[in-house]
Structure 1
Amino acid sequence: MRIATYNVEWFTNLFDDEGRLLHDQRWSGRLNVKRGEQLDALGIVFTALDADAVMVIEAPDDNRRRSGVIALQNFAVEYGLRARKALIGFSNDTQQEITLLYDPDVFEARHDPLSHPDAPRFDAAFEIDLDVDADLDLVQWSKPPNEVALRTKAGHELRLIGVHAKSKAPHGARNIHEQMRIAIENRRKQLAQCLWLRRRIDHHLAQGDNLIVLGDFNDGPGLDEYEKLFGRSSIEIVIGEGDQPRLFDPHARAALTQKLGAVPTTSRFRMGGDDNYLCALLDYVMVSPELLDHSPRWRIWHPFDNPVCYGTPELREALLTASDHFPVTIDLNL
């Protein structure tokens, strides 16, 4: 069984309001990429993944005028994908949904949001003192995580939580002081979101659930200087700290333990000014301890770092054209 997470940059721009594919020569949301080019590249990538389920991050927009589910299902039909049924969680107003695309011949799936006294539903608000002033702040997700209950045809049950955590980038800053203030504010909110998420994880682990937490966390150990201010990254919170039961992701572990030298990366962004690229580890597939008994095998589908991707020119170029993130997969013997 293969489960993937894949952040597709501006996927929503590739469909009209009826969910039809815009396979033309107009520009997509990606720099110097036409809509038809991005669609064909995505078709190649999704076909190569051949995943039983893909948690699509930045999935097509879903609102009263548009159906992200119809858009994704039309995409799956157009490119002949096994994973052809879409399941959205709580829709949001950012034009970037979190939607599971899965093979209905392998899984039964339902959106199953939970709530506990110390961890409300992800479309609600979470009370926490963000700035240590003894006053509680209300934190909300701009993109509420997608909680999915999966059941295989053989009767195995899995819980998936698809995540797109808040970006720490100081968008809108007009000077260095605003940049610092907004970056610190965003870091506080992101850590609060991940504390909220960790409380949900604790409930699942206490019940012995087979849990996979996957998606784009916009964060990783040592990724920016503000981590020193707060003492930890959001990934460390989500994986578990101290005597908490741990989730496991080998790429996160490598980043946490590797003080010098190369670490895995899952994204490649064009930088302004000198037009260089920044590579970062942002996307993760974290599993509960029980799933380690099912021979898990992780892969980052990186066009340069993975030998199969690099050695397959059509796939390599498709990965570079399709998005600024690369898929991450886990194979499990279930």
Structure 2
Amino acid sequence: MRLATYNIEWFANLFDRKDNLIVDDSWSGRHDVTKAQQVEAIAKVLTAIDADAILIVEAPNTGKTQNTVRALQQFAEAFGLRTSNALMGFANDTHQELALLYDRDVLTARHDPKGDVASTRAPRFDGDFRIDLDIDATEDVIQFSKPPMELAVRTHAGAEFRLIGAHLKSKAPHGADSRDEAIRISIANRRKQLAQAIWLSRRVETHIGADEPVILLGDLNDGPGLDEFEHLFGRSSVEILLQAGLYDPHAATAHGPRPGSVLSTARFARPNEGTFLEALLDYIMISEDLRARRPAWRIWHPFRDTACWTSPDLRDSLLTASDHFPVTLDIEL
């Protein structure tokens, strides 16, 4: 079985108010990329990775007239993707939903959120999480702007596992008008992100304690060297999740005591500098009991993955479709 996570930038912009795909020469949300070009690139990437289930991060919107599931299923039908079924969890107000595209001939999945909304330890993901973030004896109330999607999955071979799709708080100081404000926002965002990671880790620990295999995947918005404030805190969000009993070789390598060449799943332009920032943000983490299932991870990086680099059409599609690249996990389930 192949699982994937893929953050598709500005995917929502490619659909009209009734979820019809827009394939024309108007600009998409991506710089110098038309909607038609992005639509075609996304379809080529999804076809190439050929996953049995794909977590779409920043999926099309659900709102008054729009529906994420309908939009994704229409996209899959338009391009003949075998992942023709879509499923989502809690809708949010950001126009960036979390959803799963999957092949129903390979697995079944249902939204199955756990935890009491009023729980003090690990509430349901659409609730409030109370934690003292700065040791001032005052509880902070944390919410997910994008509540994680928690699914119960069963493969047609009979394997069952918990799948949690996540998109954690960004640490970027969006909206800052000065250096001091940027520092304040960056620190506040990192604290909130760490709280979200703790919340997630407690849910993971509950499942592991009940002998339920867990796969957590998505954009954790955290990786080594992303900002100058990471050393103010004892652990990163990724390390918190690894310490909960999860494993991802990319995360383990990057956050080890002597990291080698830093891996990358995203590439962001720095227009003022004429350069790009590369970052490890996207992960597929598995519980220890799944490590015996011959897992193999792959980052579909257009310049660092040999097969992607030597296929010009795929390489260009990866660069056109999004500022993130897919991560896949092949595992015997």
Q: Same fold (TM over 0.5)?
A: yes
Provide structure 1 residue ranges, at least 5 long, that are not aligned to the other structure. Answer: none
Q: Which residue of 1 aligns with 2:12?
A: 12
Q: What is the deviation of 1:65? A: 1.5
Q: Which residue of 2 aligns with 1:327?
A: 326
Q: What is the deviation of 1:123? A: 0.5
Q: Which residue of 1 aligns with 2:254?
A: 255
Given that 1:22 and 1:35 are in contact with CA atoms closer than 8 Å, whether structure 2 keeps it comes out as: yes
Task: Summarize deviations over 1:233-269 as a string: whole Å, max 9, x none.
Answer: 11001111xxx5x211010011012635412100000
Matches within 5 A, 1:40-119: 40-115=40-115, 117=119, 118-119=121-122
Cα distance in 1 for partners of 2:224, 2:138 equals 29
Letter in 1 for 2:205: D
Task: Summarize deviations over 1:161-205 as a string: whole Å, max 9, x none.
Answer: 000000001111111111111111111100001100000010011
Aligned with residue 154 of structure 1, among 154, 157, 170: 157
Q: Which residue of 2 aligns with 1:39?
A: 39
Cα distance in 1 for partners of 2:246, 2:310 equals 32
Cα distance in 1 for partners of 2:271, 2:315 equals 24
Q: What is the deviation of 1:225? A: 2.0
SS of the residue aligned with 1:269? strand
Cα distance in 2 for partners of 1:51, 1:260 equals 29
Q: Which residue of 2 aligns with 1:277?
A: 276
Given that 2:253 and 2:259 are in contact with CA atoms closer than 8 Å, whether structure 1 keeps it comes out as: no
Q: Which residue of 1 aligns with 2:287?
A: 288
* More displaced 10-residue stretch of structure 1: 259-268 or 318-327: 259-268
Given that 1:221 and 1:235 are in contact with CA atoms closer than 8 Å, whether structure 2 keeps it comes out as: no
Cα distance in 1 for partners of 2:157, 2:297 equals 23
Q: Which residue of 2 aligns with 1:206?
A: 209
Letter in 2 for 1:293: A
Letter in 1 for 2:141: L
Q: Relative to structure 1, is the Cα distance of residues 222 and 259 closer, same or farther in structure 2, using a 3 angstrom cutoff?
A: farther
Given that 2:254 and 2:260 are in contact with CA atoms closer than 8 Å, whether structure 1 keeps it comes out as: no
Q: Which residue of 1 aligns with 2:231?
A: 228
1:190 and 2:196 correspond: no
Provide structure 2 residue ranges, at least 5 long, that are not aligned to the other structure. Answer: none
Given that 1:18 and 1:66 are in contact with CA atoms closer than 8 Å, whether structure 2 keeps it comes out as: yes
Given that 1:86 and 1:102 are in contact with CA atoms closer than 8 Å, whether structure 2 keeps it comes out as: yes
Q: Relative to structure 1, is the Cα distance of residues 228 and 207 closer, same or farther in structure 2, using a 3 angstrom cutoff?
A: same
Letter in 2 for 1:190: Q
Cα distance in 1 for partners of 2:284, 2:309 equals 22
SS of the residue aligned with 2:261? coil
Cα distance in 2 for partners of 1:328, 1:208 equals 26
SS of the residue aligned with 2:24? coil
Letter in 1 for 2:31: L
TM-score, normalization by structure 1: 0.97
Q: Relative to structure 1, is the Cα distance of residues 261 and 294 closer, same or farther in structure 2, using a 3 angstrom cutoff?
A: closer
Task: Summarize deviations over 1:57-113 as a string: whole Å, max 9, x none.
Answer: 000011122011111001101111111111011010000000001011111110010
Q: Which residue of 1 aligns with 2:183?
A: 180
Letter in 2 for 1:103: D
SS of the residue aligned with 2:313? helix
Cα distance in 2 for partners of 1:265, 1:258 equals 18
Q: What is the deviation of 1:227? A: 1.4
Cα distance in 2 for partners of 1:258, 1:103 equals 39
Cα distance in 1 for partners of 2:286, 2:177 equals 40
Letter in 1 for 2:38: Q
In the TM superposition, structure 1's runs of 4+ consecutive aligned residues that sit over 6 Å from their partners are none
Task: Summarize deviations over 1:125-173 as a string: whole Å, max 9, x none.
Answer: 0001122110111100000000011111222102110000000011111
Q: Which residue of 2 aligns with 1:297?
A: 296
Alignment: residue pair count: 330
TM-score, normalization by structure 2: 0.97
